[in-house]
Every structure is written in structure tokens, then in C-alpha cells.
Amino acid sequence: MNIRFRCPHCRTDLEFDDLSQSQAPCPRCGQPIALRISAAMRERNVVDQCAICDCPTVYVQKDFNRTLGVGIFTAGAVLFLVCAWLNRLVEGTLVWAAFVVADGLLYKFLPDVTICYKCHTQYRGVAANPDNRAFELGLAERFDPLDKRAGADNPAADWKGR
């Protein structure tokens, strides 16, 4: 299991592979960082809670750079539009189809990464946990409200629509 997170004290990006320790000092600020490694993490290599902030809610997504993904999509769209502008709709459709197939192959073969809603710690190389679902905007808003002034006392955090 590989854990990538930010130091809660100095916000330096850190990476951690050793799960045998209960705490480790930050190499930059020297402050101790507590690691709350659960039994499920140690024994089954499954993320059931965040080891950094102890948040019980995490989500799973594909381990792919979003900026690169948007760039690939934009390149496919631009090539399609160029072909359409040149009245080459068949070629443009084939180009677009090739980009769709490439996207599907990337989605199928890329590994998953588990991410904490609260502190955004990333867990790679872990076994799948059926309790961890895909990203949900409502849960993300509960842990990181758009209105930063509301902080932890966000009155909309527990709101349930009718």
C-alpha cells in the first residue's frame, strides 16, 4: 500500500509505504504525523478509513491525470471539427471513434485510487473494498463546503432534499 498525503502541519506533499509504524516525523517540519492504520489495512490491504485524519468516508476513482484526460478529449474534438470543416465527416467520425475506444481502454486497464473526502489522502496498490463507492458531490460538500466561511458549522452539511 502506498499512501500519498499532505503534512497536516506544513502542507508538504509526502509519500509513505511503511505501515508498521504508528507515527512518523515530517521530513520538512519535523512534526510527528500520526498514522491510524486499521486492522483491515494491515491484514487485508483494504482502506476502510483514512489513516491520516481518521475520516470513515473515502471514494474510489481511476488513477489518471485529469488534465491529460481533458487534453486528449479536446484533441479528439478539435480533430473531429477540422474533419467536419473540410467536409470529411466519415474520417472525422472515425477519428472520434478512435478516441472513444482509446478512452474505454484506458478506463478498463488503469488501476483505481482510493481518496479521502476530508484530507484528500490518496491510497494506491490497495485491494478493492465494496463499501467504497465512486465520488459523490454531496459527500464532498459535507467535508469541504464551497462556502469556506461556513467551516465545520456549515448548516447545509446535514440537509437532505425532499
Question: 24, 31, 15, 9: which is closest to 121 by C-alpha?
Answer: 15
* 10 shares a domain with 58: yes
Q: Does residue 131 carry a pLDDT above 80?
A: yes
Partnered with residue 62 across adjacent β-strands are: 112
pLDDT tens sequence across 59-74: 999 998 888 888 989 9
70 and 7 in a common domain: no
pLDDT exceeds 50 at position 85 = yes
Both 59 and 115 in a single domain?
yes
In a domain, 156, yes or no: no
Are residues 48 and 16 part of one domain? yes
- 100 and 40 share a domain? no
Supply the pLDDT for residue 82: 95
**Residue 120's closest CA among 30, 53, 22, 20?**
53
> For residue 10, what pLDDT band results from cuts at 50, 70 and 90?
confident
Grid coordinates representing 51 are 489513516
Domain assignment of residue 96, yes or no: yes
Select the highest-mean-pLDDT range: 9-18, 62-71, 107-116. Answer: 107-116
Query: Whole-angstrom Cα distance, residue 58 to residue 48?
Result: 8
Q: Say how far apart CA 8 and CA 20 lie, in whole Å.
A: 20
Q: Over the chain, what is the mean pLDDT?
A: 85
Please give the Cα distance from 53 to 43 (Å, whole number): 20
What size, in residues, is the chain? 162
- Residue 81: per-residue pLDDT: 94
Tell me: do 140 and 93 sit in the same domain. Answer: no
Specify whether 53 is located in the same domain as 17. yes
The band of 19, judged by pLDDT with boundaries at 50, 70 and 90, is: confident
Mean pLDDT within 67-92: 91
- DSSP sequence for 47-70: -SS-TTT--S-EEEEE---HHHHH
Question: Which pLDDT band holds residue 143 (cuts at 50, 70, 90)?
Answer: confident
Instruction: Quote the domain boundaries for residue 80.
Output: 66-109
